Chains A and B, each alone.
Chain A
Amino acid sequence: MPEQSLLNVENVSWSAGDKSILSDISFHINKGDFVGLIGPNGAGKSSLMRCLYRVNRPSSGCIHFNGQNIWQNSAKQNAQNIAVILQDHTEQLGLTVSEVVAQGLTPHKHLFEWDSPEDQQKIKALIEQVDLYELRDAPFNQLSGGEKQRVMLARAMLQNPKLLIMDEPTNHLDVHYQVEVLQKVKKLDMTVLASFHDLNLAAAFCDSILLIHHGKLLAFGKPEAVITEQNLSEIFNTKVVIDRHPLYSHPRITYAYHD
């Protein structure tokens, strides 16, 4: 186990009731990596991520962040290190964009601490950074999927974690926004773990990829190593052709649509 790994997952298993969802998963993430998590629906991607931000408690195995067991720290300390951007955005009882972004300060504030003027400045700057300044006082619920995603990104940036976890970040977005969000995130000085449905996006942006199937980790490594025709046809049950993207050096996956 190299000392510089930021996140270290060892032999983690988790079950929901009687059903085993994750079995014996081990991997590590180094600082600065952009790691993708891929696998078919129901493979356990979301469940695995929930283990990382402590919504699920593994039945066995352990998870270390910066050498410390995440279950030994408080929820607040963990939130200072790890931020999450989820797929679904629950109806936020009438909160505005600014107020949602401001939530990013929650792990960093004591009970009676108010938002300082510097905090207000930071919030404003981040909202500008995600191009939502005109909508800063708009009700969060009235935004489009893409806009909501950007608000959450701003919030995550305010939270200033060392590790950013994103659950299907490109799901509800137009292509333009998919690329934009991932580009923005890649530029941040943060380690990222994101799950993907779109394998081409994963291949394009990730430094390494985790492939999960039926709750087991089947492959972990550079995109070229993990995204192979054999792996994909087996796991996704579909015919693919893999070559190199014409503009860049990462793999390109082409699907066989007709018989």
Chain B
Amino acid sequence: MPTMTNSTQNRLVAVAGLLLLIFSPLLAVSFGAADISFNDVFLTIYGYFGGESEVNAIKERIVLELRFPRVILAFLAGAGLSLSGAVLQTVTRNPLADPYLFGISSGASFGAVLVIASVGTASSMLSITGGAFLGSACSVLLVVSLAGMGVQIERMLLAGVAVQFMFSSGTSLVLYLSDPQAAASLLFWILGSFTRASWDNLLLPTLITTVCLFIFMAFSRPLRAILAGDENAKALGVEVYRLRIGMLLLSSLLTATLVASCGGIGFVGLMVPHIVRRLLVNQSRYTLIGSAIFGGVFMIWVDVLARMIMENSELPVGVITAAMGSLFFLLVLKNRSSAS
């Protein structure tokens, strides 16, 4: 079979991406515990915008109030985490960088667990979310201060790993000393889930993800210059240290917001940019937007799997992404060894 040229491949990928982006949400909404067909979904939307619809009321409510927010949240989480991963991989020149690099997820778990342990099982979701957010903020600040003024990449990566371990052990300690019920809540922060999605709690993630997307895209040129090396980038007029810290903080904000809404979902930020770079040949310009779109669509379908794989219960999303992540890396290893 003749191999296609790069530009043909890129065009195919772009078209496929666009189609997936438009049709995935609609299709995904028709999956769930309740028996709702794609036709029902279509009629519900039609009815929402004033048309005549004969779909029964409870199905409409499920589609509009439960499934749509959920699909949107999944898209935001996938897009945001992939975007964050792509930016971090660029800015640290490390293909293994990932949104949880700076201990964000373990900081969030620690914050959440601390709130639950001190306030008790009556703590509201708002305060737990607030705790999670503060926890991630602390880990970012710690990493930045540990990495020092120069923000050298190796120091940053090491600091990130250290902070991650620190917060993980802190979480274990708090769990050990507290109510076993806290452990039940903790699973949410570690494995993630989109069940809580509703229209009221979508505003913040939507806002932050969109704003971050714009900012990242604006800086895509200086970011690519950093790929050439710090000194090279400086010679091209890029304020390397400022940009690096700025991007780090911004992607931390994005990740912390997403973790606070959906818990910690691993591997997506790591995998998706790699896959996009393979699919879009020689198009480093489009890695950012490509990661966002592909990551969002990917997560929509992972969530469909999470709620359909078992008869009448749910699998936490993080379990699926972790399984996929391991497979992905096995494939990468296999490719590497057969290439050399």
Write out the residue numbers on chain A whose beta carbons fall within 8 Å of the beta carbon of B89.
Answer: 93
A53 contacts partner chain B, Cβ-Cβ < 8 Å: yes
Task: For residue B39, give the distance in angstroms from its CB to the closest CB of chain A.
Answer: 42
Q: Quick check: B234 and A54 within 8 Å, CB to CB?
A: yes
Task: For residue A113, give the distance in angstroms from its CB to the closest CB of chain B.
Answer: 8
Bound-state CA distance A78–B239 (Å) is 11
Q: Indicate the member of B95, B234, B236, B239 with the most A CB atoms within 10 Å.
A: B236
Query: CB within 8 A of B228: which of A92, A111, A113, A159?
Result: A92
Q: Quick check: A93 and B95 within 8 Å, CB to CB?
A: yes
Q: Quick check: A112 and B227 within 8 Å, CB to CB?
A: no
Known: A55-B231, A92-B227. A107 touches B282 (CB 8 A): no
B229 contacts partner chain A, Cβ-Cβ < 8 Å: yes
Minimum CB distance partner of B95 in chain A = A93
Query: CB within 8 A of B221: which of A82, A88, A109?
Result: A109
Q: Quick check: A90 and B277 within 8 Å, CB to CB?
A: no
Task: For residue A86, give the distance in angstroms from its CB to the closest CB of chain B.
Answer: 6
Q: Quick check: B237 and A79 within 8 Å, CB to CB?
A: yes
Sorting the interface of chain B by its residue count into under 10, 10 to 19, 20 to 34 or 35 or more gives: 20 to 34
A144 contacts partner chain B, Cβ-Cβ < 8 Å: no
Q: Quick check: B228 and A137 within 8 Å, CB to CB?
A: no
Bound-state CA distance A10–B231 (Å) is 24
Task: For residue A169, give the distance in angstroms from its CB to the closest CB of chain B.
Answer: 14
Query: CB within 8 A of A107: which of B6, B229, B231, B237?
Result: B237
Task: For residue B115, give the distance in angstroms from its CB to the closest CB of chain A.
Answer: 39
Q: Quick check: A83 and B282 within 8 Å, CB to CB?
A: no
Minimum CB distance partner of A96 in chain B = B282
Encode contact with A along B204-240: 1 for CB under 8 Å, 0 otherwise: 0000000000000111011011011101101111110
Bound-state CA distance A83–B236 (Å) is 7
Chain B binder among A11-19, A97-105, A171-179: A97-105
Q: Quick check: B218 and A95 within 8 Å, CB to CB?
A: no
Write out the residue numbers on chain A whose beta carbons fall within 8 Å of the beta carbon of B225.
Answer: 103, 106
Task: For residue A62, give the distance in angstroms from its CB to the closest CB of chain B.
Answer: 19
Minimum CB distance partner of B215 in chain A = A111
Minimum CB distance partner of A100 in chain B = B228
Encode contact with B along A106-147: 1 for CB under 8 Å, 0 otherwise: 110101110000000000000000000000010000000000
Known: A109-B221, A137-B6. A86 touches B236 (CB 8 A): no
Bound-state CA distance A9–B303 (Å) is 62
Q: Quick check: A76 and B237 within 8 Å, CB to CB?
A: yes
Write out the residue numbers on chain B whose beta carbons fall within 8 Å of the beta carbon of A107.
Answer: 236-237
B90 contacts partner chain A, Cβ-Cβ < 8 Å: yes
Bound-state CA distance A88–B227 (Å) is 14
Write out the residue numbers on chain B whose beta carbons fall within 8 Å of the beta carbon of A98.
Answer: 282
Q: Quick check: B228 and A90 within 8 Å, CB to CB?
A: yes
Q: Could you tell me the dominant secondary structure of chain B's interface residues? A: helix
A84 contacts partner chain B, Cβ-Cβ < 8 Å: yes
Write out the residue numbers on chain B whose beta carbons fall within 8 Å of the beta carbon of A75.
Answer: 234, 237-239
Minimum CB distance partner of A80 in chain B = B237
Q: Quick check: B227 and A79 within 8 Å, CB to CB?
A: no
B93 contacts partner chain A, Cβ-Cβ < 8 Å: yes
Q: Quick check: A106 and B236 within 8 Å, CB to CB?
A: yes
Known: A75-B239, A98-B282, A137-B6. A86 touches B232 (CB 8 A): yes
Q: Quick check: B235 and A79 within 8 Å, CB to CB?
A: yes
Write out the residue numbers on chain A whose beta carbons fall within 8 Å of the beta carbon of B284.
Answer: 94-95, 99
Task: For residue A223, give the distance in angstroms from its CB to the closest CB of chain B.
Answer: 27
Bound-state CA distance A88–B228 (Å) is 11
Task: For residue B105, give the distance in angstroms from its CB to the closest CB of chain A.
Answer: 25
Encode contact with A along B34-73: 1 for CB under 8 Å, 0 otherwise: 0000000000000000000000000000000000000000
Task: For residue B89, give the distance in angstroms from its CB to the closest CB of chain A.
Answer: 8
Q: Quick check: A53 and B228 within 8 Å, CB to CB?
A: no
Query: CB within 8 A of B238: which of A53, A88, A106?
Result: A106
Minimum CB distance partner of A85 in chain B = B235
Q: Quick check: B231 and A103 within 8 Å, CB to CB?
A: no
Please report which residues of chain A, range 202-233, place their CB below 8 angstroms from some CB of chain B when the two chains form the complex. none
Write out the residue numbers on chain B whose beta carbons fall within 8 Å of the beta carbon of A77.
Answer: 237
Give the B-binding residues of A (Cβ under 8 A): 50, 53-55, 74-80, 82-84, 86, 88-96, 98-100, 103-107, 109, 111-113, 137, 159
Give the A-binding residues of B (Cβ under 8 A): 6, 89-90, 93, 95, 217-219, 221-222, 224-225, 227-229, 231-232, 234-239, 277, 282, 284-285
Taking A78-B237, A106-B222 as known contacts, 8 extra A-B pairs with beta carbons closer than 8 A to each other, sorted by chain A number, are A75-B238, A79-B238, A83-B235, A84-B235, A90-B232, A99-B282, A100-B228, A103-B225
> 13 A-B pairs, CB-CB below 8 angstroms?
A55-B234, A76-B237, A80-B237, A84-B231, A86-B232, A92-B227, A92-B229, A93-B89, A93-B90, A93-B95, A93-B227, A103-B225, A112-B218
